[in-house]
């Protein structure tokens, strides 16, 4: 890059007195550029949208949507060039990402469209200044660093937003996959579905133990009907969960134990006789209610009423 | 570090207020066994809510306390174990097997009361049997 | 920021001190509260072994940074009698002192990595690391 210092000095001079002739500053070059982009807004914007469709980018969106977003991006782009500040563009990029990520727009598409805009604008500059080569070079020198920064801002904004959404989704999926449900006072149900790896097993235990404390649960039914397989590590974890729950004063009933998983437990040396197991979830809940003394209490209150 | 021991009816309540050294733990065991004998307590609650770590020696001491006071006719309930702590204990391999546990003081007292009533209903005038876990036997009438 | 701390283990109060320092370091390393408890429990077991079998020694706690992940390393060293049969000492339930024999195998389960070196008559060094989750 050429001495930006001299550009700055020139800019300062130009601002002090516009009448002094001399080399044009970056600022004034950019101003000229911006004026050109404003004048040809409709045409350049259409050209850009056309190129986007041609390159088969943003296919998840309709033509109208692409054109509407192209308009906003274009205006924000020009504004960033004019003001040299990127906050508005950054906010817009984040907002745009938030809207288009759920629709399946990929990182390469976003980078692709920003690079296309850069190309469309550069070509239009060529067309305008092809008669004056020195001027064209100066204009491009002023344009390129700004355009690169804009491309960077938009791409980074998109990637960050994407990462944030992925993190949020992972978190939500994890929460969803290990819900601790309170069905009655002091009774929690933990239906486990899908594949449990050691990391999920641990998370599940943590969630359950916290749940026992906050809900003051006395009985927990862990239903593993939906668990296809369990390796020794995870089976061990299940046993530890049962033991840890007892340390908090809660009894665990395990339901839906498949013969395969029962075999795994026996193989790792678990005494199944020490673990309360009931065939299915319904039976498990009934056993839990019996342990909680619900029938007894109902019976005695009926007796008082009578 | 002194552990205050409170006499409440037929029960003793020991509240551990901070981390205990080995010497403190040994002292606690002596005190509790002695006091259970002196007051002919039916139950003993050890509240460990303020304890951040229960390692193998501490668990062994708690187990010893439960066994020794059991011989003297009192059932011990350990209450207030934190969720994190419970997880660490079972990872270590310490599940306090054979010792009753309850969520907190209130639950511990409720458990002992249930055991007392059950024992009286079964054999009036006799002392309740000690050493059963509340998680096995919570169907008190 | 303390990168490394040496805690001499000579009395049973030192066990508590080591545990406390471990907690503080775990917090600094961004550990979840459950991992801090696991770390503190492991430190407790190692410090207690030093006291019981070697009478004195040292616990070193070190904050680690590796590939963007933070961790805490515990080095428990003493110049006591050493362990004759390490393999047996690592089995659940093996104890020469009438203990539960869960200390060493337990520490191995509580931490993410575990290494023990010992020479009879020369001493024992146990090195264990706990990493921050993800
Ligand atoms: N620092 C040490 N120096 C010498 N021997 C040791 C040391 N640490 C452990 N040992 C030996 O290894 C055995 C197993 O140790 P471990 O901590 O697993 O169990 P423990 O100390 O006997 O009982 P617990 O820790 O459950 O109270 C000990 O009994 C002891 O013989
Ligand atoms: Mg030990």
- Alpha-carbon dihedral B14, B20, B22, B27, rounded to 10 degrees: -30
CA–CA dist B130, A302 (Å, integer): 33
**Other CB atoms within 10 A of residue A138 CB:** 19
- Residues in a beta bridge with A96: none
- Which chain B residues contact residue C40 at CB under 8 A? 52-53
Q: Do B84 and C34 touch (CB under 8 A)?
A: yes
> Rounded to an integer, what is the distance from CA A235 to the centroid of its chain?
32
Give the per-residue pLDDT at A20.
Answer: 38
Q: Do B93 and C106 touch (CB under 8 A)?
A: yes
Give the per-residue pLDDT at B132.
Answer: 46
Question: What is the pLDDT averaged over residues B51-69?
Answer: 95
Counting every residue, how long is chain C? 134
The answer to whether the beta carbons of residues A154 and A110 sit under 8 Å apart is yes
The interface pTM score, or ipTM, of the predicted complex is 0.91
CA–CA dist C93, A104 (Å, integer): 55
| Alpha-carbon distance A196 to nearest alpha carbon in chain B (angstroms) | 18
CA–CA dist A198, A236 (Å, integer): 10
B37 in contact with A at a CB cutoff of 8 Å?
Answer: no
- Which chain A residues contact residue B49 at CB under 8 A? none
Residue C4, judged by CB atoms within 10 A of its CB (0-12, 13-18, 19+), counts as: exposed
> Rounded to an integer, what is the distance from CA A7 to the centroid of its chain?
41
Higher pLDDT, C80 or A167: C80
Q: Where are the domains of chain B?
A: 5-140
**Position A176 confidence tier, pLDDT thresholds 50, 70, 90:** low
- Which chain C residues contact residue B25 at CB under 8 A? none
CA–CA dist A227, A225 (Å, integer): 6
B1 in contact with C at a CB cutoff of 8 Å?
Answer: no
Give the per-residue pLDDT at A153.
Answer: 85
* Long-range CB contact pairs, B19-22, < 8 A, 24+: B19/B51, B19/B52, B19/B53, B19/C16, B19/C19, B19/C20, B20/B51, B20/B58, B21/C12, B21/C13, B21/C15, B21/C16, B22/B57, B22/C12, B22/C15, B22/C48, B22/C51
The answer to whether the beta carbons of residues B54 and B20 sit under 8 Å apart is no
Picking from B83, B91, B94, the nearest residue to C38 by CB comes out as: B91
Summarised one tens digit per residue, pLDDT across range C80-117 is 999 999 999 999 999 999 999 999 999 999 999 999 99
Strand order in the sheet with B100-102: B5-8, B11-15, B43-47, B75-79, B100-102
CA–CA dist C103, C78 (Å, integer): 16
Tokens of C93: 């339930």
DSSP state of A150: H
Q: Output the residue whose Cα is nearest ligand 1's atom 12.
A: C89
- Which chain B residues contact residue A213 at CB under 8 A? 82-83, 103
Q: Do B55 and C92 touch (CB under 8 A)?
A: no
CA proximity to C28, closest of C59, C60, C61: C61
C112 in contact with B at a CB cutoff of 8 Å?
Answer: no
**Position A200 confidence tier, pLDDT thresholds 50, 70, 90:** confident
Which atom of ligand 1 sits closest to the CA of residue C54? 3
Could you give all domains of chain A from N- to C-terminal order, each with its CATH number? 22-170 (1.10.490.70), 181-292 (3.30.750.24)
pLDDT at B115 over 70: yes
Give the per-residue pLDDT at A15.
Answer: 40
Q: Is B22 in the pocket of ligand 1 (CB under 6 A)?
A: no
pTM given for the model? 0.70
C110 in contact with B at a CB cutoff of 8 Å?
Answer: yes
Tokens of A9: 């000095």
In which residue are the tokens 């002192």 written? Answer: C97
**Other CB atoms within 10 A of residue A124 CB:** 16
Counting every residue, how long is chain A? 306
**Position C75 confidence tier, pLDDT thresholds 50, 70, 90:** very high
Q: Which CATH class is domain B5-140?
A: alpha beta
Of A16-20, A86-90, A253-257, B114-118, the range with the highest mean pLDDT is A253-257
**Position B65 confidence tier, pLDDT thresholds 50, 70, 90:** very high
Q: Interhelix angle for A133-177 vs A87-100, to 10°? A: 50
Tokens of A14: 């130009």
* Cα(C89) to centroid(ligand 2), Å: 10
């Amino acid at each position: 890059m050429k001495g930006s210092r001299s550009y700055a000095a020139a800019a300062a001079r130009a601002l002090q007195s516009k009448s002094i002739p001399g080399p044009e500053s970056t600022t004034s070059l950019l101003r000229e550029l911006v004026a050109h982009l404003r004048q040809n807004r409709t045409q350049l914007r259409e050209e850009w949208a056309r190129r986007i469709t041609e390159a088969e980018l943003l296919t998840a969106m309709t033509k109208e949507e692409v054109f509407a977003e192209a308009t906003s991006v274009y205006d924000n782009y020009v504004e960033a060039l004019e003001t040299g500040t990127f906050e508005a563009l950054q906010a817009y990029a984040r907002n745009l990402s938030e809207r288009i990520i759920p629709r399946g727009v990929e990182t390469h598409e976003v980078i692709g469209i920003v690079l296309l805009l850069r190309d469309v604008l550069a070509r239009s500059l060529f067309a305008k200044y092809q008669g004056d080569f020195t001027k064209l070079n100066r204009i491009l020198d002023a344009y390129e660093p700004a355009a690169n920064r804009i491309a960077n801002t938009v791409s980074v904004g998109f990637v960050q937003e994407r990462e944030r959404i992925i993190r949020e989704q992972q978190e939500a999926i994890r929460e969803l996959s290990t819900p601790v449900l309170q069905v009655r006072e002091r009774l929690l149900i933990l239906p486990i579905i899908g594949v449990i790896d050691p990391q999920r097993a641990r998370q599940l235990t943590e969630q359950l133990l916290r749940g026992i404390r906050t809900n003051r649960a006395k009985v927990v039914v862990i239903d593993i009907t939906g668990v296809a397989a369990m390796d020794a590590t995870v089976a061990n974890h299940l046993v530890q969960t049962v033991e840890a729950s007892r340390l908090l004063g809660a009894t665990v009933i395990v339901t839906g134990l498949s013969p395969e998983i029962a075999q795994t437990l026996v193989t790792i040396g678990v005494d199944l006789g020490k673990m309360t197991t009931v065939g299915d979830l319904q039976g498990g809940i009934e056993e839990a209610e019996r342990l909680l003394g619900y029938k007894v209490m109902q019976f005695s209150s009926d007796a008082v009423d009578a | 570090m002194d552990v205050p021991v409170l006499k409440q009816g037929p029960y003793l309540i020991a509240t551990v207020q901070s981390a205990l050294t080995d010497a403190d733990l040994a002292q606690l065991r002596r005190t509790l066994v002695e006091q259970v004998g002196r007051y002919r307590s039916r139950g003993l609650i050890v509240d460990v809510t303020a304890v951040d770590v229960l390692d193998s020696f501490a668990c062994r001491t708690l187990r010893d306390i439960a066994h020794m006071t059991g011989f003297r006719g009192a059932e011990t309930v350990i209450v207030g174990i934190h969720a994190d702590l419970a997880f660490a204990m079972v990872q270590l391999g310490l599940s306090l097997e054979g010792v009753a546990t309850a969520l907190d003081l209130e639950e511990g007292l409720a458990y002992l009361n249930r055991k007392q009533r059950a024992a009286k209903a079964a054999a009036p005038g006799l002392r309740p049997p000690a050493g059963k876990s509340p998680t096995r036997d919570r169907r008190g009438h | 920021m303390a990168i490394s701390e040496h805690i001499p283990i000579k009395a049973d109060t030192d066990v508590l001190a080591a545990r406390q320092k471990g907690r503080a370091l775990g917090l600094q390393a961004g550990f979840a509260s459950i991992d801090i408890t696991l770390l503190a429990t492991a430190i407790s077991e190692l410090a207690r072994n030093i006291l019981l079998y070697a009478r004195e020694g040292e616990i070193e706690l070190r904050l680690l940074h590796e590939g963007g992940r933070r961790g805490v390393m515990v080095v428990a060293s003493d110049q006591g009698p050493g362990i004759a049969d390490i393999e047996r000492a690592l089995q659940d339930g093996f104890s020469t002192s009438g203990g539960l024999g869960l200390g060493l195998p337990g520490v191995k389960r509580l931490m993410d990595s575990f290494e023990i070196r010992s020479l009879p008559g020369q001493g024992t060094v146990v090195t264990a690391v706990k990493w921050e989750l993800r």
